[in-house]
Amino acid sequence: MRLRYPGLAHLRMIRTFRGSEYSEAAWKVHQASGDVLVEHVAPLRNLTREAIALITQGSADEELMAFVKKHYRLVLLTPKKR
**pLDDT in tens for each of the 82 residues of the chain?**
888 888 888 888 888 888 899 999 999 999 999 999 998 777 788 889 999 999 999 999 999 999 999 998 888 998 888 7
pLDDT of residue 19: 82
Give, for 50, the enclosing helix (H) or strand (E).
helix 44-56
pLDDT of residue 16: 87
* Residue 36 neighbours by CB distance under 10 Å: 23
Residues in the chain: 82
Q: Enter the pTM of the model.
A: 0.69
